[in-house]
Amino acid sequence: MALPVDEPPRGVPGVEPVTPCTSDSPREACGVVGIYAPSDSVAHLSYLALHALQHRGQESAGIAVSNGDDITVVKDMGLVASVFDERTLATLGGVLGIGHTRYSTTGTSSWENAQPVYRSTANHQFVLGHNGNLVNTGSLATETSILPGMVGSDSNLIAELLQMEISAMAPSDQVRGRVLERALERVLPRLIGAFSLVLADEERVIGVRDPNGFRPLCLGRLDRGWVLASETPALDIVGAHFVRELSPGEMVVIDGDGVRSNHPFPTDRVDPRLCIFEFVYFSRPDSVIYGQSVHHARVRMGELLARQAPVDADLVMGVPESGLPAAEGFSRASGIPYGQGLVKNRYIGRTFIAPSQQMRSLGVRMKLNPLRDNIKGNRLVVVDDSIVRGTTTRALVAMLREAGAAEVHLRITSPPYRWPCLFGMDTGDRSELLAARLSVAEMVDYVGADTLVFIEMEELTAATGAVGAGFCNACLTGDYPVDVRPMNGSRG
């Protein structure tokens, strides 16, 4: 349902405020992997899979493995390659494990909030990795008398609830076996929001997708084992074959008996609403979601934009990375030549944080540099995925003009971003969103372009190739798939 226009997102009791965001694009919020492979090196497979998910979170990385009796966790701040080396991986002997890359949307960016989260009770241990964002952490914390600041992040809160549930089980229920599964069956229906989870205890790996399926989670088959991962490239890199996506509201349990599927949520809560930005920006182009290639969906976005908003120009260029396939599609549909106009500095990550507001315009120069020979004197069509705060777009247009562009026509592969994401994407507060404050005509003036056109919502949905599959587009329409008003929802 739509929030009132002036509804400000608020903080969540029990959960620390988000890290201030100084980027100008929505930022992703974690990648997860779970591996059950008793005859392989689970730590090495997890490490490879996390590499394929590095784009979903670059603040911290972690792997937890079980050798059948004990769980060991290694996690730290930084990229996967800086947290793990051969020596560390060699110490992580196990038959199953989970891994996580994090970008913080609730909780500070700190070692304590890095994942996997580890918890133990008198007889049990488990670990958890979370991609998404709960919107009812406030009421959950109140219900359970968890004090503000006690848990640090919504992921820690889920682990806390599971630990409480396990501790409260009668001794006869606490036999080794399906303890974690039973705790999940009780805790999961109480969670509202976005949560693709991977969990493990000593003997099994578990995957869960929330009833709206906001975030992706897929299952793959190894020769002698199974893999759960946020995106299909993580399956490719470990040599696993794609089996299927988990259904919204599904829990799968993987152990020595194979894969069991369970549906712990009330059926009336199951309403598929995959984040449409997985297609626009967040997922890798080589990912397959809803049976569709993300790369091809982006090409189609460009083709449809060219038909929706034709323009007389000399060159079509994309803003790396996600704007590139869309620019290719725009060029193909319009007949305007495609060319490279911007060179990306590969060593600046997506989460590059400029040290101050003043430095943001320099931030774009750290990430992108113009190819002057292709730009000078040309009328450019510049294809990008989104405009969130507008700061980077404005700096980009100024940079292209300085490089000699005769005209700059912006074409954006998402509709105007007017509402905060409450489901795990860091877009900042509504007051920070350019399209929430300005009309499109005013945005043209603000960013300094000659023209600016956003793709229509229907065209974007059509471009995914999965019309009717069910999408969340709340940040574009204000139509939130779950009731976020009474829940003191955080800003995602």
CB of 36 to ligand SF4, least distance (A): 29
Q: Give whole-number Cα distances, 224 to 37, 55, 181, 241, in Å.
A: 6, 28, 23, 12
Pick the closer one to ligand SF4 by CB: 158 or 274. Answer: 274
Long-range contacts for 159-162 (Cβ within 8 Å, ≥24 apart)? 159/117, 159/119, 159/126, 159/128, 160/119, 161/187, 161/190, 162/119, 162/126, 162/128, 162/187
**Rule CB under 6 A: is residue 473 a binding residue for ligand SF4?**
yes
Closest CA to 417 of 105, 26, 133: 26
- C-alpha–C-alpha distance, residues 78 and 350, integer Å: 13
Residues in the chain: 492
Rule CB under 6 A: choose which of 200, 333, 472, 484 binds ligand SF4. 472
Rule CB under 6 A: choose which of 421, 449, 482, 484 binds ligand SF4. 421
Q: Is the dihedral of CA 377, 378, 383, 388 positive or negative?
A: positive
Rule CB under 6 A: choose which of 134, 219, 306, 475 binds ligand SF4. 475
- C-alpha–C-alpha distance, residues 116 and 156, integer Å: 10
Rule CB under 6 A: choose which of 474, 482, 484, 487 binds ligand SF4. 474
Pick the closer one to ligand SF4 by CB: 94 or 216. Answer: 216
**Rule CB under 6 A: is residue 423 a binding residue for ligand SF4?**
yes
Q: Per-residue x/- mask for ligand SF4, residues 191 to 220, rule CB under 6 A?
A: -----------------------x------
Q: Give whole-number Cα distances, 451 to 24, 240, 397, 405, 431, in Å.
A: 20, 46, 11, 14, 24
Rule CB under 6 A: choose which of 179, 319, 425, 443 binds ligand SF4. 425
Pick the closer one to ligand SF4 by CB: 9 or 26. Answer: 26
Whether 218 is catalytic is no
Pick the closer one to ligand SF4 by CB: 25 or 393. Answer: 25
CB contact at 8 A, 329 and 413: no
**Rule CB under 6 A: is residue 275 a binding residue for ligand SF4?**
yes
- What are the tokens at 158? 């889920």
Tokens 């591996």 sit at which residue? 35
Percentages helix, strand, coil for the chain (3-state, rounded to 5) are: 35, 25, 40
Task: Name the catalytic one among 30, 218, 275, 421.
Answer: 30
Pick the closer one to ligand SF4 by CB: 84 or 214. Answer: 214
Please tell me the count of residues contacting ligand SF4 according to CB under 6 A: 12
**Rule CB under 6 A: is residue 290 a binding residue for ligand SF4?**
no
The DSSP letter of residue 15 is B
Q: Per-residue x/- mask for ligand SF4, residues 18 to 57, rule CB under 6 A?
A: --------x-------------------------------
CB of 142 to ligand SF4, least distance (A): 25
Q: Is the dihedral of CA 163, 165, 17, 389 positive or negative?
A: positive
**Rule CB under 6 A: is residue 276 a binding residue for ligand SF4?**
yes
**Rule CB under 6 A: is residue 65 a binding residue for ligand SF4?**
no
Pick the closer one to ligand SF4 by CB: 425 or 435. Answer: 425
Q: From the centroid of its chain, how far is CA 57? A: 8
CB of 91 to ligand SF4, least distance (A): 37
Q: Give whole-number Cα distances, 59 to 119, 144, 194, in Å.
A: 22, 30, 20
Q: Pick the stretch among 4-12, 13-21, 44-52, 473-481 that binds ligand SF4 (CB under 6 A).
A: 473-481
- C-alpha–C-alpha distance, residues 181 and 169, integer Å: 12
Q: Pick the stretch among 2-10, 71-79, 136-144, 470-478 that binds ligand SF4 (CB under 6 A).
A: 470-478
Bridge partners for 261 per DSSP? 252
CB of 3 to ligand SF4, least distance (A): 11
CB of 475 to ligand SF4, least distance (A): 3
Q: Pick the stretch among 181-189, 273-281, 290-298, 362-370 that binds ligand SF4 (CB under 6 A).
A: 273-281
Pick the closer one to ligand SF4 by CB: 34 or 216. Answer: 216
Q: Which amino acid is at 105?
A: T
Closest CA to 254 of 108, 56, 66, 450: 66
- C-alpha–C-alpha distance, residues 217 and 33, integer Å: 9
Q: Tell me the catalytic residues.
A: 30
Q: Using CB under 6 A as the criterion, which residues of the chain lie in contact with ligand SF4 when the complex forms? A: 26, 214, 275-277, 421, 423, 425, 472-475
